[in-house]
Structure 1
């Protein structure tokens, strides 16, 4: 049985105590962060962490991110903390930034996907911080079945995991909507492994130029040092097609594709920043922040409405747009139409 703990009105101390006890007992608890909902277990309990992989159907070589609530906890997880990590933590933690660092021996191999590095972040959400402080550092990937769109509402987690995990904390809708940005600080130069809720431009203001890993642009890799690099991700049941190009050309191309797919007898959904005629439509919003916040919700909602094809409008790859386009292209399996 899964208990759902309502914290839509804010942190509930009794609910936190219940959830923390479950974490310390080796159980699984889904909880909100500022980015997406996480599926959490005691990061230092190998048996508990293994249950995350089993529940999600996640490949064992896909490392997890450990969530902490205090900077001092970083020294228990990483054997070296370079100056860049201290600068980034001071500027952006708590926040949607994950740093990959050399692993401390006490961190189980299952948590890091067998790697000698560890991915760590400090979430900017009062419920997440309260839960960690009441328990232990928590390993938590997104709380969805592996390969599916990440959850930004407790209802999404309930759809995927009710009856399969011990508890779900309902903290309402997440604020950012895409996962954290991941920076590798174990390479010769700081390297972006995954764009996310903290724009790359902001990071480069603090530590200078950051290299972009080829996996960010879709190149296949043998070893994933961070989530989202190697396997199929963010995909709904419907086929997703991303339309990219100049705004007016994109608008015309979307209308053309809607007519084409409907002529084949398929139900078509469109997710875009302005209205389109289709069987189903989801308005993503007008700013990059709104688009990021609504991205995964749109994919899940159009799936729920039973469309066969989802046509998604591409946006400019700046700021949060970089993360949005990374997720959209992966959701589409790189089925991109240029307009």
Structure 2
């Protein structure tokens, strides 16, 4: 079964129809995607888009991603689309890939921060796709993640309800997100293809489809502003720090001796005896980066709400498959380095 084609029950269809009405009326909803939950508004309604910025407390010069319901709609929302972008869309959509393209006149300035480009993607979640189908081809949903700006992304409806529940019109519950990390963002300049944010689609898979290298965003001048690119982002309220395992053990031991309560997250399969103390709650996550990414935000939400003094995490693997995870955790720990 293709991603996003799962069957929906009658209760879900009723809720999605209600959400579509709210979108068309200028309302704000939270909806599930395969990556994280989005905070959505009608992309063509400037007042509604402004509400998204206000609710999220997001600077208005930080562009939003536009979600469309079918690949055939790409020509309506973008122009001068490179062949490489069309190839990636055909191969990875629906899926966790955002393409930065020249925007069409149908997208207002407020969505893009006044820039001439826009991020567009086709999500792979049955609830999101049905919602986009109901609102029609002349509408799209502008949506950042459904959380306060710079904070942990939500991968369940409960995460959204905890932080934004009384600020939005409706939360569509589509279960836990299957990917759990934000989309990969790709930009284009002449014949070059740039990685602007690592995410749910590995760079190696993109390079395989294009049969050419994808260039790091650090080599793109001038830089293209994209969501989640600030040094500090995706952060829990609890201070989070990264350590290689040996240093992690020593730091945890030192802090526990000060009667501080710690959440310790590792992945390498080793559980040092120093973790066997009432002051330390230890979890060993998967060594598979796909599974690790799928559960990362959920684990961080759990520990962030539990009242620990610190969250200490083992530094992710340096292998390319861990690139998106490394990116998120480096940003989440930035203010506590």
Q: 2:3 maps to what in 1? A: none
State the secondary structure of the residue aligned to 1:157. helix
Q: 1:3 maps to what in 2? A: none
Query: What is the rounded CA distance, in whole Å, between the counterparts of 2:12 and 2:72 in structure 1?
Result: 25
Give the C-alpha shift of residue 215 in structure 1. 9.1
Gaps of 5+ in 1: 1-6, 245-249
Q: 1:301 maps to what in 2? A: 302
Query: What is the rounded CA distance, in whole Å, between the counterparts of 2:155 and 2:62 in structure 1?
Result: 21
Match of 1:179 among 179, 182, 189: 182
Asked if 1 retains the 8 angstrom alpha-carbon contact of 2:37 and 2:177, the reply is yes
Query: How big is each residue's C-alpha offset from its partner over 1:301-321, in whole Å with a ceiling of 9 and x where there is no partner?
Result: 111111111111122243541
Query: How big is each residue's C-alpha offset from its partner over 1:63-116, in whole Å with a ceiling of 9 and x where there is no partner?
Result: 111011111211121111110011101110000000000111221111012211
Greater than 6 Å deviation, 4+ residue runs = 7-11
Q: 2:250 maps to what in 1? A: 256
Q: Is 1:143 aligned to residue 146 of structure 2?
A: yes
Q: TM (normalized to structure 2)?
A: 0.89
Residues 21-100 of structure 1 mapped to structure 2, 5 A cutoff: 21-100=21-100
Query: What is the rounded CA distance, in whole Å, between the counterparts of 1:232 and 1:335 in structure 2?
Result: 10
Change (3 A) 1:114 1:10: farther
State the secondary structure of the residue aligned to 1:134. helix
Change (3 A) 1:84 1:222: closer
Gaps of 5+ in 2: 1-6
Q: 2:159 maps to what in 1? A: 156
Asked if 2 retains the 8 angstrom alpha-carbon contact of 1:115 and 1:225, the reply is no
Q: 2:289 maps to what in 1? A: 288
Change (3 A) 1:320 1:33: farther
State the secondary structure of the residue aligned to 1:14. helix
State the secondary structure of the residue aligned to 2:146. coil
Query: What is the rounded CA distance, in whole Å, between the counterparts of 2:8 and 2:260 in structure 1?
Result: 38
Q: TM (normalized to structure 1)?
A: 0.89
Asked if 1 retains the 8 angstrom alpha-carbon contact of 2:231 and 2:331, the reply is no
Asked if 1 retains the 8 angstrom alpha-carbon contact of 2:8 and 2:126, the reply is no
Query: What is the rounded CA distance, in whole Å, between the counterparts of 2:251 and 2:143 in structure 1?
Result: 38
Query: What is the rounded CA distance, in whole Å, between the counterparts of 2:180 and 2:66 in structure 1?
Result: 19
Q: 1:328 maps to what in 2? A: 329
Q: 1:4 maps to what in 2? A: none
Q: Is 1:269 aligned to residue 263 of structure 2?
A: yes
